Structure 1
Amino acid sequence: MEKEIKILDTTLRDGEQTAGVVFANEEKILIARMLDDIGIDQIEAGIPVMGENEKDVIKKIVKSNLKASIMGWNRAVIKDIQESIDCGVDAVAISISTSDIHIKHKLNTTRERILEQMVKATEYAKTNGLYVSVNAEDASRSDEEFLLKFVKLAKEAGANRIRFCDTVGILNPITTYEKIKLIKDTVDIDIEMHTHDDLGMATANAIAGAMAGATYLGATINGLGERAGNAALEEVVLAVKTSMGIDMGYKIDKMQDLCRYVAKASDRMIPSWKSIVGENIFHHESGIHADGMIKNPLTYEIFDPTELGLERKIVIGKHSGTAAIKNKLALFNIQLDNLISYHLLEKVRNTSIAIKRALTDMELLNLYHETLSEINVPKEA
C-alpha cells in the first residue's frame, strides 16, 4: 500500500546542530545506511556550502546507492544550490525566514526581497532538475497573509513542497492544525512539518500537522537538534502508526539499534524512561498495573515490546502488589500462598523504602526465605 505520510530525517543536518555534537564522517555514512535500512523516505544529509569536508561525506552518502532520496540544505542563495548540485543530491531544501522578527532583525531586509530571493533560488534549482522543498523558517510566527503569499509564489516557481518550520517550538497541536489546514485549503501543495521541542510538543505538533493534511514529517533520531531538539523520529513513526492508524511500512524492529548508535555517536545518552526506546518503558512495578499486565499485556501496553527489541519486566519494589511478587517467584518455581504473600509484601515494601530502589531477584529471594523462617514454615514448603 502506498504510504500516505513520508518521513524526512534531518539527524545529519539539524541533529548535528545540537550544541556540542559532531558526527565523524564515517558515523554519518553509517547513520544514513541505517536510516535507509529502516525505510526512511528522504535523508537531509548536510549543508554542502559549509566546505569540502561536508561535501565529501554528502558525496559518499549519495554514492552509497541508498533507496532514500538524499537532500542538501541551502539558504536561498544560488551558490549554495550549486554546491548541492556538485554533491549529486537529488533534492534540495531552500530555506529563508518568513517572520517579520527574522526579516528585520536577522536578515535586515524586506518581505519583497525575501520573496524575490526564494523565487529566484527555487527556479534555479528546478532548472537543474532537483526536487525542491522551500522552507519557511519561523513560519509559526509569520504574518498569515504574507506566509500564504510566500507559499503560492513557491508553488508557482516550481517547489514540490513547503517546509513549515516551527523554528522556536512556539505552537501547540490546536494552533498547528489550524495553520496547516489553512495552507492546505488555500494552496494545493505538499507540506512538511518541521517542529521543535522548546515547549515539549514537537512530536504532538508534527502529528497535528499530519492530521491537518501535511504529507511529510521532519524528525531527528532521539530528538536531537538545536536547544530542546526536534520531533524524535522514533516517536513520530510510532505515533503515526499507533495514534493515526497508518502503517508506513518502516522496519521498526531496527529502530532500537539506530537510536542507540546515534546516542553513542552524539554522546547524548537515552534516558531509561524515554518514550519508544527507553530500556525501562516496558518495566512494571505499580501493583494495579502489574496485575493487569500479568493478566493481559494489552491492559497497559499499546504495542508489543518485541517489536522494538525491548523486554517486558516485572519490577519488585515499594509499589508492588502480591500478584507481581507471586508472578516473579513463580519464575523460580516457588508458589506462594496468601499468608506468605502478605508477610513478604510488607518486607518488600519496607526494604525498598530503606534502600531507595527496587529489589534485585536475589534480594527478593532472600526476603522470601526470611519470611519462611519468621512464620515457621519449612523452606521446602
Structure 2
Amino acid sequence: MIAKKIDSLGVDIIEAGSAITSDGEREAIKRIAGEGLNAEICSYCRIRKEDIDAAIGCDVASIHLVVPVSDLHIQEKLKKDREAVREMAVEMTEYAKSHGLLVELSGEDASRADLEYLKSVYNAGIDAGADRLCFCDTVGILTPERAYDIFSDLSQLRAPISIHCHNDFGMATANTVAALRAGAREAHVTINGIGERAGNTSLEEVVMVLYSLYKQKTKIDIKGLYTTSRLVSRLSGIPVAPNKAIVGGNAFTHEAGIHVHGLLANTATYEPITPELVGRERRIVLGKHAGRSSVVLALKELGLSASEKQIDDIVVRMKELGDKGKRVTDADLQTIAETVLGIYQEAKVRLEELTVVAGNTVMPTASIRLKVNGNHVVEAGVGTGPVDAAINALRKAVSGVADVQLDEYHVDAITGGTDALVEVWVKLSKGGKTITARGARTDIIMASVEAVLEGINRLIQQEQNRKS
C-alpha cells in the first residue's frame, strides 16, 4: 500500500528495503517489484556478493551499493584499508552490472571521509559501470555551506550524484536543498522524515521548499503529500509530531487571536502556503490565546449569534478554562455560550446503561442502552479492548440518527495513582463537519463514552441550528 501510494506521488526510485535482511523483507521487495509501478524499484546492498544475490532474487531494477569511505568506518567497522575497500567496490559494481542491475554507488559516512579518496572510489566505480553516485551524510554533520561546496565539486564527475542526509542536527532538509542547488541530480528522502535515529530528509519538506521558496517544480503530486503522510504514519505506527512542517497536526492550525484576526482579512498574513496546496484544511482552535475573532468564527460555525458584550464575556470564560491547562473543545465553547446567552438545549442522546465485559479468555464486549430522541435503543458491540467495544456499541446505537466518524482519541491522566482522574479528548466528524469534545472520569471507559456522547449531541445541535 505504501509503495503504491508513493508511486502515485510521482517519485522516480523506491528503495523498497534490504533484500539480505530477512525472508519477510525479501517477500515484500519482490511483491513491490512485481506490482508494475512506474518507479524504479531498488534494494539496499552492502559491498558483499550475498547481498547482491538476494537483490537479484527479488527482481529489482537497481541496487543502492553502499561503500564505507571514512577511515573510521574502513578501519573500525571493516578492519580493512582504503585500497581493499576500493577494490571491493569495483568488484561488486562489476558483479551487479553483469547481472543486469543499475548500480547507484554510495559513499557511506562520506561527510567524514577524505574527499580525494572519496572521488577515487567514485571514479573507479564509474569505470566499473556504476550508473549513479551517492554522498551519504550518515551522521548528519553537514552544514548547508559545506554541502554546497562539496557538491559543486562532485557534480563535475562523470555520473549523476545524489544526496542522502540524516537529521541529527535538524539540518537534513537545508543540506539537501543546498546540494541540489550545487548540482546534485537526485535526493534521498523519506515520508515524514522517518529513519534511523533523528530520521532522514523529509520528502514533503524538500518538495515544498523547492516549490514555494525556489520556484522549482518537481514531478511530485503535492496535493497527495498529506494523505501519503497519514497512510505511512498509520501503517508504520510512527506518529507525526504535531509541530512537524507541512504535515504535522498543527501546521495549519491557528489559536492566537492576532493570527486569526489577520487570517480573516487575508490567509497569507500567517500562512506561507495555503493548506489546500498539500491536500489539507485550515483549522482554528480555541484556547487561552484565542481572541474575539476566533470566538465569533466559532459561534458562527455553531449557528449562534451574540452581542459585543456577550462575546467579551464568552472570551473571558474561555480564557479562564485555558489558563487551567485544559483544552477548550467545541463542546466547552457551546456550553459557555449557552450559559452566557441563556440557552439550554437538552441532549438528544442520553446514556441510560452501559455494561462492558473483558478478560483474557473473552473478546471485549459492550452492551449499551440509550435514549435517542425520546426512544430507548439497546445495542451491543465488540472491540480490541473495552473502550473500543463501548464506542463501537455507542456508534451502532446512534447509527442513522448521528452517523459519526471518530477521527482522533487522546487520553491524559490528570491525577496520579490507580484511581487517577483521566481526561479523554475526541475529535468526531459527520458530513464534513468536525467537532471536539471531552470527558473526565476515574473510569476511562465512561470518560470515553461521555466524550463521544457530548460530541454527538453537539453535532446534532449544530445541524439543527443551521437548519433553523
Query: TM-score scaled to structure 2, two decimals?
Result: 0.69
Cα RMSD, aligned residues only = 2.1
Cα-to-partner distance string for 1:10-69 (whole Å, 9 max, x where unaligned): xxxxxxxxxxxxxxxxxxxx2211111221111111222334443332222111111110
CA distance in 1, matches of 2:138, 2:17: 18
Please say if 1:104 is aligned against 2:75: yes
- Which protein is richer in helix relative to its size? 1
CA distance in 2, matches of 1:324, 1:100: 58
- Which protein is richer in strand relative to its size? 2
Q: How many residues align?
A: 342
Which of the residues 266, 269, 273 maps onto 1:299?
A: 269
Please say if 1:150 is aligned against 2:121: yes
Structure 2 residues without counterparts, runs of 5 or longer: 343-468
SS of residue matched to 2:57 = helix
CA distance in 1, matches of 2:315, 2:3: 50
Conserved 8 A contact 1:279-1:310: no
Structure 1 residues without counterparts, runs of 5 or longer: 1-29, 374-381
Superposed displacement of residue 272, structure 1: 2.6
With over 3 angstroms needed to count, the CA separation of the structure-2 counterparts of 1:216 and 1:141, relative to structure 1, is same
Aligned to 1:50: 21
CA distance in 1, matches of 2:92, 2:172: 29
Please say if 1:251 is aligned against 2:221: yes
Aligned to 1:13: none
CA distance in 2, matches of 1:57, 1:301: 40
Aligned to 1:18: none
Cα-to-partner distance string for 1:143-192 (whole Å, 9 max, x where unaligned): 1221222222222222222111010111122222222222124x243111
Which of the residues 330, 346, 353 maps onto 1:361?
A: 330
Aligned to 1:92: 63
SS of residue matched to 2:73 = helix
Superposed displacement of residue 224, structure 1: 1.8
Conserved 8 A contact 2:137-2:164: yes
SS of residue matched to 1:49 = coil
SS of residue matched to 1:136 = strand
Superposed displacement of residue 285, structure 1: 0.7
Conserved 8 A contact 1:47-1:54: yes
Which of the residues 252, 257, 269 maps onto 1:282?
A: 252
Aligned to 1:23: none
Conserved 8 A contact 2:104-2:134: yes
CA distance in 1, matches of 2:284, 2:19: 49
Which of the residues 111, 115, 122 maps onto 2:86?
A: 115
* Structure-to-structure mapping, 1:1-381, within 5 angstroms: 30-185=1-156, 187-354=157-324, 356-372=325-341
CA distance in 1, matches of 2:195, 2:228: 17
Conserved 8 A contact 1:253-1:308: yes
With over 3 angstroms needed to count, the CA separation of the structure-2 counterparts of 1:129 and 1:290, relative to structure 1, is same
Superposed displacement of residue 292, structure 1: 1.1
Q: Which amino acid in the other structure matches residue 136 of structure 1?
A: G
SS of residue matched to 2:20 = helix
Q: Between the two structures, name the one with larger relative contact order (CA 8 Å, sep ≥ 6).
A: 1
Conserved 8 A contact 2:11-2:219: no
Larger Rg: 2
Q: Which amino acid in the other structure matches residue 267 of structure 2?
A: P
CA distance in 2, matches of 1:43, 1:235: 18
Aligned to 2:402: none
CA distance in 2, matches of 1:83, 1:311: 44
